[in-house]
């Protein structure tokens, strides 16, 4: 009996989590943010896939990065700033960066 009750509670909790996740609204861009993103895609999306890959993002000028940050885009959308993805670390500010290990030593 205890196992049945525990199973029922687990199923109900799982359903509640799924239902709550579906109710959360997605972050929507403001019209100003949409306009800036359209401009960035038009200017930097060289392969025309509708999104900026790592190489395309690297080519964004400082002026355009400033435009994006001015409307609230940037780190949150992976468009610059100090945020790194894929486990990369940002370099030390004072130059204390250690060289990467080469091979298996």
Q: pLDDT for 10-57, tens place per residue?
A: 777 777 776 666 655 667 889 999 999 999 999 999 999 999 999 999
pTM of the full structure: 0.47
The values of phi and psi at residue 71, to 5°, are -100, 10
The answer to whether the beta carbons of residues 9 and 2 sit under 8 Å apart is no
Q: What is the mean pLDDT of residues 2-13?
A: 80
More confident residue, 90 or 8: 8
95 domain-assigned: no
What SS3 state is found at 63?
A: helix
70 domain-assigned: yes
50 domain-assigned: yes
53 domain-assigned: yes
Range of the domain at 60: 31-77
Average pLDDT score over the chain: 73
More confident residue, 56 or 101: 56
Number of domains composing the chain? 1
Q: Report the alpha-carbon angle 95-96-102, nearest 5.
A: 110
């Amino acid at each position: 009996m205890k196992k049945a009750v525990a199973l029922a509670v687990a199923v109900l909790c799982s359903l509640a989590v799924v239902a709550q996740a579906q109710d959360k609204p997605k972050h929507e861009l403001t019209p100003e943010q949409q306009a800036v993103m359209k401009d960035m895609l038009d200017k930097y999306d060289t392969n025309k896939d509708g999104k900026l890959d790592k190489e395309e993002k690297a080519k964004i000028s400082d002026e355009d990065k400033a435009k994006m940050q001015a409307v609230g885009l940037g780190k949150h959308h992976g468009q610059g700033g100090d945020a790194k993805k894929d486990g990369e670390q940002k370099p030390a500010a004072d130059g204390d960066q250690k060289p990467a290990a080469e091979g298996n030593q």
